[in-house]
Amino acid sequence: MHRNDRRARRLLGIAVALATLSAGLALARPPLTATAATVHVWAFGDPVRCPNGEGANPAVRDIVAVDNAPLLIMGDLATPSGSIDEYNNCHAPVWGWLKSRMKPVPGNHEYNTPGAAGYFEYFNPIPKYYAWEINGWRMYALNSMCGYVGGCSATGPQYRWLENELRTHPGVCQAAYWHHPRWSQGGHGNIDKMAPVYDLMVRYGVELLLVAHENGVYERYRALDANGVADPRGVTEFVVSTGGVDDGAGEVVPNPPSPVAREDGTMGALRVDLTPSSWSARFVPEAGETYTDAASGTCFDEGDPPPGDTAPPTSSVTSPARNTKVPSPVAFSGQATDDVGVDRVRVAIRDQATRLWLQSNGTWAATFRQFDATLWSRGAASTGWTFSRALPAGQYGVSVRAVDTSAKPQTPDTWVTFSAR
């Protein structure tokens, strides 16, 4: 369908929907059903553009208004400036009655008003970033406007907060959402500023990432590691910039990796069904459109283990002892155990002053880098491990992760702080 035809039909739809709303008539779209032990959320971003204060496109609102599920809105809820006037006079007439269901994060347009004051006033009280839980899932609502949250590097407060959250909430399914895509072939391409946070999510086994920003583009990526390489234990990202604004549709930046699904110009919302051990997602298009896409997966700590594999592996650090000062080169050692056998022990070292990780070439960077330790008895149910590395004087943390013979990793990693002299 020609894009101008879509716009004309949407304008007609806006007039009809607003008239229906003002008349107090119920929305007629039939509800989507959920299976037992399943709940769902709706996810989308970029719903409203109002340069002249006109009403927003209600097509996606009509999709999500059929039930009471939470609404994950990934930024740019009122553009172009995100002022309180735009929220009250443009966003609220169409979306305001669903406000109590919203779990939003801000986008770049919110910060066109200093400090995103309109967003924080409209949703008051709301933190800059936060976590919440639903049906065995922990959801992380993050802020990708890095300059306004103390940066998004490993030294920033949001990163440190998220790291502590992930470390102290093991064994649950996890999803994160923010505005700017980590991976995208939309008009903005891949956006690197959230790479340290994405790396952290890969490290802690976060299953899903939901983003927007591309204005009229839907994309789905396979599970990817921190380098954008396919990995069954990587993060699955959805770009759902289909809430109403579509002026980025058709723009392509062909940087790798490539999405496995893409649609331009069809507005809609992503329905994400959640059980305590799995997820499934389906793109639901606006009325009159036919495009859809679907995917599913299991949580990394769940699924069907091989016979006898009933628990993840564990590891301990014998040396250096916690909070001790040791000579360099530092001799690391410990024990790893598992019910089916230990295949690997992986070690990562972080400078506590800079929050940077040791790399294979001896430099330090924000990218999480692991090294393989030497095992005394690979494949055994219990084995010692050793690793050695020369370090300059300073304070460090060592992250140790055992992996069993069925590729199941320890979660979370064992963590010990120490000093080198």
What's the pLDDT score for residue 190? 96
Question: pTM above 0.75?
Answer: no
Q: Are residues 319 and 252 in the same domain?
A: no
Look at the chain and report how many structural domains it folds into. Answer: 2
Q: Considering the domain boundaries, does residue 109 fall inside one? A: yes
Extract the tokens encoding 158: 């949001």
Dihedral sign of CA atoms 241, 246, 248, 250 in order = positive
Average pLDDT over residues 109-135: 97
Q: Considering the domain boundaries, does residue 155 fall inside one? A: yes
Q: Which amino acid is at 377?
A: S
Q: Are residues 329 and 412 in the same domain?
A: yes
Instruction: Give the structural domain span for 356.
Output: 314-420
Phi/psi at 325 (5° precision)? -110, 125
What's the pLDDT score for residue 106? 98
CATH code: domain of residue 350 = 2.60.40.650
Extract the tokens encoding 410: 């320890």
Q: Are residues 170 and 81 in the same domain?
A: yes
- Mean pLDDT (the chain) is 88
Q: Which residue would you say has higher pLDDT here, 319 or 405?
A: 319
Average pLDDT over residues 179-203: 94
Residue 384 pLDDT greater than 60, yes or no: yes
Looking at 264, 298, 332, the residue that finishes a domain is 298
Residue 27 pLDDT greater than 60, yes or no: no
Looking at 247, 271, 298, the residue that finishes a domain is 298
**Residue 27: exposed, middle, or buried by beta-carbon count in 10 A (0-12, 13-18, 19+)?**
middle
Average pLDDT over residues 130-153: 96
Residue 301 pLDDT greater than 80, yes or no: no
CATH code: domain of residue 114 = 3.60.21.10
CA–CA gap between residue 143 and residue 34 (Å, rounded): 30
Q: Considering the domain boundaries, does residue 165 fall inside one? A: yes
Q: What is the pLDDT of residues 55-111, one digit of tens each?
A: 578 999 999 999 999 999 999 999 999 999 999 999 999 999 999 999 999 999 999
Residues 6+ apart with CB under 8 A from 37: 275, 276
Give the three-state DSSP class for 85: helix
Instruction: Fill in the DSSP letter of residue 29.
Output: S
Q: Residue 145 half-sphere exposure, CB side, CA atoms within 13 Å?
A: 19
Residues 6+ apart with CB under 8 A from 124: none
Residue 280 pLDDT greater than 60, yes or no: yes
CA–CA gap between residue 327 and residue 133 (Å, rounded): 44
What's the pLDDT score for residue 66? 95
Confidence of residue 242 (pLDDT cuts 50, 70, 90): very high
Residue 22 pLDDT greater than 60, yes or no: no
Q: Are residues 294 and 318 in the same domain?
A: no
Give the three-state DSSP class for 134: strand
Q: Are residues 321 and 280 in the same domain?
A: no
Average pLDDT over residues 334-345: 91
Confidence of residue 346 (pLDDT cuts 50, 70, 90): very high
Angle between helices 157-168 and 195-203 (to 10 degrees): 10
